């Protein structure tokens, strides 16, 4: 190949690269002017067991319109603070409320609780470790505790039970009930999302999505497509589930019709008049015996007819019941609230047993944003029955908020803002956490726990 031809190829290659860069820059400028994106980074990672957790190092930017915050992360998967060698460790788990979505670290209610605790007991006596993850349910934080218990080694586990915990626990599929009556659980290992792993490994990916409107648009489009595909698959699955009882109902209806026909035939046979009166006198004795035999047969047939009729009625009732079931696809497509409640009850029992075995104190409260008093039947009675300290702070939070809810949330998002976060910290500390820590501290001193 001649040198002139090489120069031409090289020049064309440079021209193509320059054209691509120019096109990307022009497209970026158009997005910035016409359709600016929220430049939010990624802080979710998946463990080998498929559990979604926070990353263990670095920072991530989060933007909602004009509001921009930056989260800091530490090993293993904590927001806000690394583990200290000394002090009583309080592992805090929950969802995006507890994580402190859209809040700077000093405005999260976990940080406020750390301040309250330092003022009450002295700095360094207790340390709060925030492992909460947006989108978590009860199943997620139970799995996290089981997987990371030997790394974190908590002394106290504080759970903030929230409104979506039950549904998320069911939908995630990390645990299922192997025996609903005995509330026995089976743990499932989920497959880590390969696409997310591949994308996160792209050099400069984090910088791109936090600074480029074009890159953020591409990311949002991919996530939207994945979400729509997931919803589509769930819809198809629910439709199949809704058709299943209808097919069973048709089979039962056919069986019921067959039995009804058999019953009618037997009734006609049982009611059919005899012709013994036309038979001659000479054979009357023989026919009399036959008549007695036929009467017995008629009674037997009638009895069988009644039994068949009863079976037919039973099947008809079952058919009607199945028809009603087939006409309610919505209730079939959604897992019942009772099943979800039983799953979460089993999860808390499992967590309680593990905590007792490892001499760890477990206590549960709520964010107060939702009324959880009947989330698990009678929620207070349930936690009392398994000896887990619990209080729902929703009445206190609602009393303070009143009709001014908009003052306590981020507009366009719904999560607690700085004022809402401080309210959760105040109410949970005043009515629950303060007393629990004093009780733990007294128990620790009396038993001389090292």
Best CA proximity match to 157, nearest among 226, 108, 98: 98
**Is 10 a residue whose pLDDT tops 60?**
yes
Number of H helices, E strands in the chain: 15, 12
Please compute the mean of the pLDDT values over residues 414-428 and round it to a whole number.
97
Please compute the mean of the pLDDT values over residues 397-407 and round it to a whole number.
95
Q: Which helix (H) or strand (E) holds 45?
A: strand 44-46
Tell which wins on pLDDT, 324 or 108. 108
Q: Tokens 């349910």 appear where?
A: 137
Q: Which helix (H) or strand (E) holds 83?
A: none
Residues 299, 248: Cα–Cα separation, whole Å: 35
**Is 328 a residue whose pLDDT tops 70?**
no
Task: Give the per-residue pLDDT at 228.
Answer: 82
* Candidate from 177-186, 330-339, 402-411 with smallest mean pLDDT: 330-339
Please compute the mean of the pLDDT values over residues 11-18 and round it to a whole number.
92
Q: Phi and psi dihedrals of 298, rounded to 5?
A: -65, -40
Q: Which CATH class is domain 44-211+337-447?
A: alpha beta
Tell which wins on pLDDT, 195 or 390. 390
Task: Give the per-residue pLDDT at 178.
Answer: 85
Task: Give the per-residue pLDDT at 321.
Answer: 46
Most confident region among 157-171, 236-250, 335-349 by mean pLDDT: 157-171
The pLDDT tens digits for 270-300 are: 554 444 444 344 444 454 455 545 555 445 4
The pLDDT tens digits for 208-259 are: 999 999 999 998 888 888 778 877 876 776 677 667 655 555 555 565 566 6
Task: Give the per-residue pLDDT at 239.
Answer: 73
Question: For a pLDDT cut of 90, what percent of the chain falls above it?
Answer: 62
Tell which wins on pLDDT, 322 or 346. 346
Tell which wins on pLDDT, 245 or 169. 169
The pLDDT tens digits for 374-384 are: 999 999 999 99
Task: Give the per-residue pLDDT at 347.
Answer: 97
* Mean pLDDT of all residues belonging to the chain: 83
Task: Give the per-residue pLDDT at 342.
Answer: 93
Question: Around Cβ 432, how many Cβ atoms within 10 Å?
Answer: 21
- The answer for residues whose C-beta is within 8 angstroms of residue 40's C-beta and 6 or more apart is 60, 61, 62, 63, 209, 210, 216
| CA angle (33, 35, 41) in 5-degree steps | 110
| CA angle (145, 147, 150) in 5-degree steps | 80
DSSP string covering 371-437: --TTTTSSHHHHHHHTT--EE--HHHHHHHHTT-GGGGB-TTT-SB-HHHHHHHHHHHIIIIIHHHH
Please compute the mean of the pLDDT values over residues 62-86 and round it to a whole number.
94
Torsion of the alpha carbons at 20, 23, 29 and 31, rounded to the nearest 10: -100
Task: Give the per-residue pLDDT at 254.
Answer: 60
Residues 114, 129: Cα–Cα separation, whole Å: 10
Task: Give the per-residue pLDDT at 201.
Answer: 75
Q: What is the pTM of this model?
A: 0.76
Please compute the mean of the pLDDT values over residues 95-115 and round it to a whole number.
98
**Is 169 a residue whose pLDDT tops 70?**
yes
Tell which wins on pLDDT, 155 or 265. 155
Task: Give the per-residue pLDDT at 304.
Answer: 47
Most confident region among 154-158, 231-235, 439-443 by mean pLDDT: 154-158
Task: Give the per-residue pLDDT at 113.
Answer: 98
Tell which wins on pLDDT, 291 or 437. 437
Task: Give the per-residue pLDDT at 146.
Answer: 95
Task: Give the per-residue pLDDT at 263.
Answer: 64
Q: Tokens 């303060």 appear where?
A: 434
């Amino acid at each position: 190949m001649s040198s002139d031809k090489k120069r031409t190829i090289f020049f064309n290659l440079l021209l193509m690269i320059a054209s691509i860069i120019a096109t990307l820059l022009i497209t970026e400028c158009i997005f910035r002017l016409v359709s600016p994106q929220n430049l939010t980074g990624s802080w979710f990672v998946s463990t080998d067991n498929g559990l979604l957790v926070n990353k263990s190092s670095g920072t991530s930017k989060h933007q909602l319109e004009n509001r921009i915050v930056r989260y800091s992360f530490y090993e293993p998967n904590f927001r806000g603070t690394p583990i200290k060698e000394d002090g009583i460790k309080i592992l805090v788990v929950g969802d995006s409320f507890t994580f402190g979505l859209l809040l700077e670290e000093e405005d999260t209610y976990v940080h406020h609780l750390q301040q309250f605790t330092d003022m009450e007991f002295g700095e360094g006596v207790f340390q709060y470790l925030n492992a909460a993850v947006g989108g978590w349910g009860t199943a997620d934080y139970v799995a996290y505790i089981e997987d990371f218990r030997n790394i974190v080694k908590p002394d106290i586990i504080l759970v903030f039970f929230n409104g979506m915990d039950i549904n998320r626990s069911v939908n995630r599929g990390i645990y299922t009930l192997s025996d609903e009556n005995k509330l026995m659980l089976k743990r499932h290992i989920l497959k880590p999302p390969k696409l997310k792993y591949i994308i996160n490994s792209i050099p400069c990916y984090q910088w791109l999505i936090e600074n480029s409107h074009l890159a953020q648009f591409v990311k949002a489009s991919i996530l939207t497509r994945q979400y729509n595909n997931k919803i589509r698959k769930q819809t198809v699955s629910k439709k199949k589930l809704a058709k299943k009882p209808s097919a069973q109902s048709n089979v039962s209806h056919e069986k019921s019709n067959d039995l009804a026909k058999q019953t009618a035939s037997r009734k006609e046979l049982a009611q059919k008049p005899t012709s013994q009166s036309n038979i001659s006198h000479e054979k009357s004795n023989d026919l009399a015996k036959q008549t007695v035999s036929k009467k017995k047969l008629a009674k037997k047939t009638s009895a069988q007819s009644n039994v068949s009729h009863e079976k037919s009625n039973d099947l008809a009732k079952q058919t009607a019941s199945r028809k009603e079931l087939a006409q309610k696809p919505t209730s079939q497509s959604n897992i019942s609230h009772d099943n979800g409640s039983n799953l979460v009850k089993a999860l808390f029992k499992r967590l309680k047993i593990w905590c007792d075995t490892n001499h760890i104190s477990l206590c549960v409260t709520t964010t107060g944003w939702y009324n959880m008093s009947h989330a698990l039947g009678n929620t207070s009675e349930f936690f009392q029955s398994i000896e887990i300290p619990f209080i729902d702070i929703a009445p206190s939070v609602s009393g303070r908020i009143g009709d001014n809810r908009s003052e306590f949330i981020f507009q366009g998002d719904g999560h607690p803002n700085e004022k809402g976060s401080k309210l959760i910290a105040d109410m949970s500390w005043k009515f629950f956490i303060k007393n629990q820590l004093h009780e733990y501290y007294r128990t620790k001193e009396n038993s001389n726990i090292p």
